[in-house]
Structure 1
Amino acid sequence: MENNQPKNVIESFDFKALGARMLKYWYLFVVSLLIGWVVSYYTVRYSVPVYKTYGKTLLKDEYSAWGEEYFIKGMELVSARNRLVNEVGIISSYNLMRAVLDELDFRVFYYDIGNIKTTELYKSSPFKVELDSNVVDQLRAAYYLKVEGQSTFSVANNEEFENKQNFPFNQWVDLNGIKIRITLTENYQQGRTEEKLLYFTINDLNSLAKVYQSSIGLETEPMESSILKFSLVGPTIDKEVDFINALMKYYIENGKKESSEIATNTIRFVDEQLKDISSDLRATENKMESFKLGNNNEKLQINSNTYIPQSNALEQKFLETQFEYNFYTELIKNLESSDESKMFIPNVIGVGIRDPLYVSITELMSLYTRKTRMETQASDSSTAYKLLLGQIKVTKQILAANIESKLMQTKFTLDQLKEQLLTIDNKLGELPTIESEYTRINRIYNLNNDFYNYLLQKRSEAAMAEASNVPKAKVLEPASKYTVSYAGINSSSVYTLNIGVALVIPFLIVLLLFLFNTKIMEKGDIESVTTIPIFATIGHTKTAGNLVLIDHPKSIVAESFRSLRTNINYITKQQQTFTILITSSISGEGKTFCSINLASAYAVSGKKTLIIGADLRRPKIFNDFNLKNSLGLSTYLIGKASLQEVIQETEQENLYLISSGPIPPNPSELIETDKMAEFFKEAQQLYDIIIIDTPPIGLVTDAMILTQYSDVNLYVVRQRYTNKSQLELINQLYVDKKVANVGIVVNDLKEQRIGYRYGYNYGYGYGYGYGYGYGGGAYYGDDEVRKKTFFNKFKK
């Protein structure tokens, strides 16, 4: 059973039609690919190359002057292990970056402005900018410069050199409030340098330090090793190499300097503790001698009851806590002192202090180092120096608050230990008086003596550590041209990406146009909404007027109508006489054009043909034949004229016309009268072929009424004009079998997009084939010879 329902949208999606649409817009792909290639070429050609360079240091985890592990364990006078996390934090700190920038000449950057690409002139600039020492670090400025000769130059803050200023070389000048001096360097080339547009920037070193702080890469290689890899990515190889090497050098030297200061300050601190404990030891020793003399050197024994070991343990802990308390007190004293050299890092003196104070004091010592360096380079009144002092003040305040907190905790521990010792002393007081007193004095003497010997040992160890101070790291592999690798854009990836995008963009454009198109463009557009067969396709014509077959009998359009005539003859089973009704959805789709030329095709074949202008509302077909409309179908239907009176003969042999006639007030009612049936009965006796040009079926009902008199019904759709939704009406009539022998004629086909190639055979169950012969020179009129353009040559 024949399925008269339209196909599902997904099932009817015409991939061949989409492919044809893509081919039609081939030039979009070519242009897009060309643009993609050009963009890729210039991206690769003028992009600033970026390089990655690296250097390596070896962190010494445990070391001594003799290559052995440090034996200063209890007090850790020098750090026994550099923890990698802490070292990474120190290296990537802002202060370290800022100190390195102070060492390097990074205050001014120089550039050569090209037509497209700008190149940095690191150590190759033909001029050098010197800034007055009073210029603040936070200053940022940029200027364009032209060398006018060996004696003068001009600067401006824009590339067009508007409001430029001229200055001499080798002299201090005032440039917009900035005191600078510019001199020529050995890179100056007379004649060539003058032709260049140069550019220099004065950098804010604080901001630049933050940039490097976020840019520097630090990683271990391999994981969990003590090899630290410094890496940096940038466009200027020499500059990145210099920065990494300077950073590694400063880190190592600064670490060695700090270690030396730590050992020196530690010895000083231990000496002070020795001085105090020596006094206590002498006092206790004198007291013991006096006690012995006062008791006539009696044989005294130390009671060894159970309280003595407990007392010794508590007193040992008390002395250690007291030592820690003294250390914090000394730290506060040094912090408040104007002598910055007394500051030392706490986690190396063995009092159980680790990261928080270590980081804070390391930061403070780094600031002290910067302050010392700046005092030799800038005046005390400079803004940068004042800002540094403010930073030191804030850091000291934070550090003081942390130390005070530690002091309070240590003081609380001391008070608890005192209470415990007092309890034991009370227990010892229960012993005989002489024995008890001697036991107490002897216990204090031994404890002070042991602690004194302990401090002597640690001082000796600290002195040896100071004498054998070695860096905590060494350069394993300096940054150089051999450690540089390209890290910029990959040319292959750029070309692949851009060409891929260049293909996708036109594809998406064409696809969207294809998917959201509501007009009849392809064969699939018709088949998606109806199963009505396509009888013919009529090509586009540039000829003025509707009489194409008569005026241009050899044209493609004329041949299309001949093919339509052949197909209709096949459908009518070679009937000698029959009636053809031609309608459409809306006006402008070419009903009248098709009616005239199909009628002409039958007339030239020898068939006596009558065209009926059945559009009583808009009479116009008579104009194409230069005939009158005073009498016509309407006058016949109202009985004011006979059939012979309304028939007009055209200039084409065998072709006759009945125009619509004057517009009546009730066209539909006239067509439904018995007079209409009588009209067709008479006309069919006189003519072989009758062609009815009706109003659009989608607008009025006249065409539907007239289908009862027709043998073949042609529904005209126009490419790029008819909406697909407008086919739903005729399809429903076809499905409901209210219209028989209906076929679609595709009009105004501008290219082979409906799905029919020249010579393409197709059918809808009728068993007929088409052979238009498109492309043969015999089917072109002399005045319709197609001009071969550059693009036409490639369409075959």
Structure 2
Amino acid sequence: MKIDINDLLQVQDEEKVINYKRLFFLLLQNWYWLVGLTFLGAAGGYLFGQFTPQTYKIDSSIIVPEDKNALNLGSLFENDMPGLGKVTINNEIELLKSYTLNHRVVDNLNWRTAWYEDDFLIWKGLYSKEPFLVQETDTGVNAEGVYLRLTPKENNQYRIEADGTGLVNNEEVDISFSETLTLGEPFQNEFFNFTLHPKEGAEKLEDREFRFVFQNINKQTFNYLKQIQVVQTDKQGEVIRLSLEGAEPLRNIHYLNELIRVYLDLKLELQTQTQKRSLEFIDKQLSGISDSLNVAGTTFTEFRSRNQIIDLSAQGTLVMEQLSEIERQKSQQQIQLEYFRNLLTYLEKDENINQISTPSVVGIQDPSLNALVLRLGELYSRREVLSFSAYENNPTLVLLNKEIAQVNEQLRENLLNLIDNAQISIRSLDARQTRINSDLNNLPGQEQQMINIQRKYQLTSEIYTFLLQKRAEIEIALAAAVVDIQIIDPARMERIVPTGRGNLILLIFGAFLGLALPVIVILLADQLNSKIHLQEDVERLTKLTIIGNVLHSRNKSELVVIDHPTAPISESYRTIRTNLQYKFSEPGQKVIGIHSISPGEGKTFNSTNLASILAMNEKKTLLIGADMRKPRLHQLFNLNNNNGLSNYLVGQSNTNDITQPSLIDNLWVIPSGPIPPNPAELLERPRMQELMDWAKKEFDYIIFDNAPVSMVTDGLITCRYTDLNLFILRYGVSNKDQLKFINEITGKGVMPNAALVINDIKLDGYGYSYSYKYAYGKGYYAEK
């Protein structure tokens, strides 16, 4: 029978389908591993629950309005600050999880040491219940990260010991020592320098076991970054929930509350820095103008007193007012020009724009300039916040830098135009001042001096008043500044939720792991095992018919059907004999080829017993030893191998010379004969066809015992003369890949009308064919 290529593809697809029946019997075969490890897993889960400290979850929640002004400065600067402080929930979550912010929290809390007490195989944390006070010296060094074991003794003495690795000046060192000291007595060695002081009740601590560790602030920060959970409770909402889980709930409560406090302070600091810079700028200007105003006022008063001048003439008053207005305008233009130049310098140096005051502080009311400066300041603030948690290649940060560059370029072009305009205005004012000064020269000398002094005084006073007004406005705005972030629920003891798994859950989980481990190992071993162990291994890998299953023989006899006719294995061959009539679909078909892929699969054993069972059915049977490379057939029947198939094929003998009767009625044997140098070439000779023509006339069945087909081509030659080709596969020995080879040669028509015989099936477990165990294992057949 030729196997269609589509059938082979279907077989490959079926390989991917899980056979649950096969898996069931595979696991049932190893039931003792499943039961034992499930019990051990359940016991381990129970013990884990008993010796694992109870953990608790603490949470806190805040509202962070999205896309709104996060800082409320009142109405003074609302028009000057479009879009200031816009936030997004994702950015705020990253800020709360940033290393920089959490490092500040750990630094503020100053948890220099952590204490634990031995509580029967576990170390219980003693946060806020430390048995002793640890006093460090300003100059001493204490190794961080290594646990110091401490046992209080009588008379305020204690034993302290360490054995581990710690950090000294950020370098790892091995530490090992054991000493006995007195409380209040300094402890010093090359690794530590501290003093333990007793707390109230310390005399009741004798023989209890404690340990403490000097903590590294960087490692503390990293530990909390691993533990803290910051999530948005609802994708459409503005609520952020922060949570921590651990064995010391009070410690986590303090941490969460401090984190929120530091977060709010940072937000306020980031969002008011522009106003603080403006305040610093005004204070610096006021410091210089105050002295100038005092000097100008004193000079003006002394001049009037000395020259007894009370008022100016009408012409002098007009000239002074004109000059004062020009100088006031000129002064404003010069201040603005200086501001423009300073701002341009910042842009060219690519410095943070938040370090310069807003344009409105110096009286610049240009809407375009104000909008660009505030927009750039906002972008720098957003980048500063984002930089707490994002790397340089972060897509959001990259886009933000591009936007900063664009706004920077727009602002630079605007400033160049404003500088040109300011310089033109100053030159125009200079020209007007020159013309008015000619009128001033026509006035009396004292009046000219009076005008100059009074003009300088009034100008300084106006600038001073203007700056004081701006300063008051900014101080009021800063005093009213609030961060538009609300704390919904601070972390507190009432919100503690136990999270330690219950003993029942741990027991079930442990049992599940105990069961899963052997299941995984068994299934993995099965996948890695390429041998045939189950009938489904064959059925899912080939479409060839399994014509029979040969059970394992417990007898040493090779001719089991003769020596043990009532044994189950003999019934296996009777089943094969019956099934042959279904494979011989046409009259005259009588030649059977017995093949194997590799040696040791029972090819000769099955050839001999199949031929014997046919002969026992009164069928004249001829068994031909076609394996002329490693012949063994003659040994089973105790025949002479000096004259056999090889002699006939080379023309040395005839059919009567090589055909030998066996001790079994109706069974004749042609042994392989002496081993020739060229067995395949001999099988190709015309005499082989002559032998088959003679045998078909004389015998009812002809059986070829062939050499393994994967090693030599002998079997592929003899299959030209066969009507049925049986491949022998041995349970636990044959490889699954052999079926692919069989599929290939049968699918291409090289080996026509092929079928399978599974050999050596054991019935002592849930192995290859559980149905056969049921059929043959009930004692209907008994081996003798």
- TM-score of the superposition, structure 1-length normalised? 0.63
CA, structure 1 residues 584+214, in 2 after alignment: closer, same or farther (shift >3 Å)? closer
Cross-structure match for 2:185: 171
Structure 2 CA distance, aligned partners of 1:528 and 1:444?
107
Cross-structure match for 1:5: 4
C-alpha contact (below 8 Å) 1:580/1:690 kept by paired residues: yes
Query: Given the alignment of the two structures, is residue 647 of structure 1 paired with residue 644 of structure 2, yes or no?
Result: no
Structure 2 CA distance, aligned partners of 1:220 and 1:715?
67
C-alpha contact (below 8 Å) 1:109/1:203 kept by paired residues: yes
CA, structure 1 residues 471+519, in 2 after alignment: closer, same or farther (shift >3 Å)? same
Question: Which of 142, 147, 152 is equivalent to 1:143?
Answer: 147
Post-superposition CA distance 1:657-700 (Å, at most 9, x none) = 45444445665677677877787787778765554434345555
Post-superposition CA distance 1:31-73 (Å, at most 9, x none) = 599599899888888488463443769999668xxxxx69899
Cross-structure match for 1:566: 578
Post-superposition CA distance 1:716-756 (Å, at most 9, x none) = 344552613442675268x37x85x6543333345899998
Cα deviation, residue 426, structure 1: 0.7
Structure 2 CA distance, aligned partners of 1:461 and 1:677?
119
Cα deviation, residue 480, structure 1: 1.8
Structure 1 CA distance, aligned partners of 2:213 and 2:706?
82
Cross-structure match for 2:547: 535
Question: Which of 192, 210, 233 is equivalent to 2:244?
Answer: 233
Aligned-residue CA RMSD (Å): 6.7
CA, structure 1 residues 647+190, in 2 after alignment: closer, same or farther (shift >3 Å)? farther
Cross-structure match for 1:284: 300
CA, structure 1 residues 44+726, in 2 after alignment: closer, same or farther (shift >3 Å)? same
Secondary structure at 2:297's aligned position in 1?
helix
Give the AA of the match of 1:168: T
Secondary structure at 2:439's aligned position in 1?
coil
Structure 2 CA distance, aligned partners of 1:144 and 1:505?
43
C-alpha contact (below 8 Å) 2:257/2:490 kept by paired residues: yes
Give the AA of the match of 2:609: N
Cα deviation, residue 562, structure 1: 0.2
C-alpha contact (below 8 Å) 2:230/2:243 kept by paired residues: no
Give the AA of the match of 1:142: V
C-alpha contact (below 8 Å) 1:149/1:194 kept by paired residues: yes
Structure 1 CA distance, aligned partners of 2:688 and 2:78?
124
C-alpha contact (below 8 Å) 1:629/1:659 kept by paired residues: yes
Cα deviation, residue 106, structure 1: 1.2
Structure 1 CA distance, aligned partners of 2:279 and 2:455?
32
Give the AA of the match of 2:318: I
Cross-structure match for 1:22: 23
1:384-403 matches, cutoff 5 A: none
Query: Given the alignment of the two structures, is residue 429 of structure 1 paired with residue 437 of structure 2, yes or no?
Result: yes
Cα deviation, residue 109, structure 1: 1.4
CA, structure 1 residues 508+418, in 2 after alignment: closer, same or farther (shift >3 Å)? farther
Give the AA of the match of 1:619: P
Query: Given the alignment of the two structures, is residue 106 of structure 1 paired with residue 111 of structure 2, yes or no?
Result: yes
Cα deviation, residue 589, structure 1: 3.0
Post-superposition CA distance 1:156-203 (Å, at most 9, x none) = 124999643333333212143422222454576958x7364x432213
Query: Given the alignment of the two structures, is residue 182 of structure 1 paired with residue 196 of structure 2, yes or no?
Result: yes
CA, structure 1 residues 417+704, in 2 after alignment: closer, same or farther (shift >3 Å)? closer
Give the AA of the match of 1:179: N
Cα deviation, residue 433, structure 1: 3.4
Count of residues in correspondence between the two structures:
682
Structure 1 CA distance, aligned partners of 2:129 and 2:42?
34
C-alpha contact (below 8 Å) 2:337/2:423 kept by paired residues: no
Question: Which of 739, 750, 766 is equivalent to 1:724?
Answer: 739
Cα deviation, residue 593, structure 1: 0.9
Structure 2 CA distance, aligned partners of 1:212 and 1:523?
54
C-alpha contact (below 8 Å) 1:7/1:527 kept by paired residues: no
Structure 1 CA distance, aligned partners of 2:46 and 2:362?
65
C-alpha contact (below 8 Å) 1:169/1:181 kept by paired residues: yes
Secondary structure at 2:438's aligned position in 1?
coil
Give the AA of the match of 1:647: Q
1:253-272 matches, cutoff 5 A: none
Structure 2 CA distance, aligned partners of 1:94 and 1:591?
73
Structure 1 CA distance, aligned partners of 2:607 and 2:667?
12
Cross-structure match for 2:413: none
Cross-structure match for 1:556: 568
Structure 2 CA distance, aligned partners of 1:778 and 1:145?
74
Question: Which of 149, 163, 186 is equivalent to 1:157?
Answer: 163
C-alpha contact (below 8 Å) 1:153/1:169 kept by paired residues: no
C-alpha contact (below 8 Å) 2:296/2:453 kept by paired residues: no
CA, structure 1 residues 186+502, in 2 after alignment: closer, same or farther (shift >3 Å)? farther
Post-superposition CA distance 1:557-605 (Å, at most 9, x none) = 2212101111224555898995544334443332211122112323443
C-alpha contact (below 8 Å) 2:115/2:125 kept by paired residues: yes
1:85-484 matches, cutoff 5 A: 104=109, 106-112=111-117, 118-135=123-140, 140-147=144-151, 149-150=153-154, 151-158=157-164, 163-185=177-199, 194=207, 196=209, 198-205=210-217, 231=242, 233=244, 235=246, 236-245=248-257, 273-274=289-290, 276-287=292-303, 293=309, 300-303=316-319, 309-315=325-331, 422-431=430-439, 433-434=441-442, 437=448, 443-451=455-463, 478-484=490-496
- Percent of paired sites with the same residue: 21
CA, structure 1 residues 93+130, in 2 after alignment: closer, same or farther (shift >3 Å)? farther
Secondary structure at 1:11's aligned position in 2?
helix
Give the AA of the match of 2:493: K
Structure 1 CA distance, aligned partners of 2:553 and 2:626?
25
CA, structure 1 residues 444+555, in 2 after alignment: closer, same or farther (shift >3 Å)? same
Structure 2 CA distance, aligned partners of 1:626 and 1:90?
92
Cross-structure match for 1:777: 779
Structure 2 CA distance, aligned partners of 1:574 and 1:296?
145
Secondary structure at 1:747's aligned position in 2?
strand
1:666-685 matches, cutoff 5 A: none
Post-superposition CA distance 1:516-566 (Å, at most 9, x none) = x5979767867867x664432323445434222234333332212101111
Cα deviation, residue 428, structure 1: 0.7
Structure 2 CA distance, aligned partners of 1:527 and 1:161?
63
C-alpha contact (below 8 Å) 1:612/1:660 kept by paired residues: yes
Structure 2 CA distance, aligned partners of 1:316 and 1:420?
14
CA, structure 1 residues 675+701, in 2 after alignment: closer, same or farther (shift >3 Å)? same
Structure 1 CA distance, aligned partners of 2:721 and 2:98?
98
Give the AA of the match of 2:127: Y
Secondary structure at 1:14's aligned position in 2?
helix
Structure 1 CA distance, aligned partners of 2:95 and 2:704?
97
C-alpha contact (below 8 Å) 1:316/1:447 kept by paired residues: no
Cα deviation, residue 145, structure 1: 0.5
CA, structure 1 residues 690+131, in 2 after alignment: closer, same or farther (shift >3 Å)? same
Cross-structure match for 2:394: none
Give the AA of the match of 2:144: R
Give the AA of the match of 2:146: A
CA, structure 1 residues 113+268, in 2 after alignment: closer, same or farther (shift >3 Å)? same
Give the AA of the match of 2:296: D
Cα deviation, residue 146, structure 1: 3.6
Structure 1 CA distance, aligned partners of 2:233 and 2:436?
62
C-alpha contact (below 8 Å) 2:299/2:453 kept by paired residues: no
Question: Which of 587, 596, 600 is equivalent to 2:599?
Answer: 587
Cα deviation, residue 416, structure 1: 9.5
Post-superposition CA distance 1:481-534 (Å, at most 9, x none) = 2355679999899999979997995698479559xx5979767867867x6644
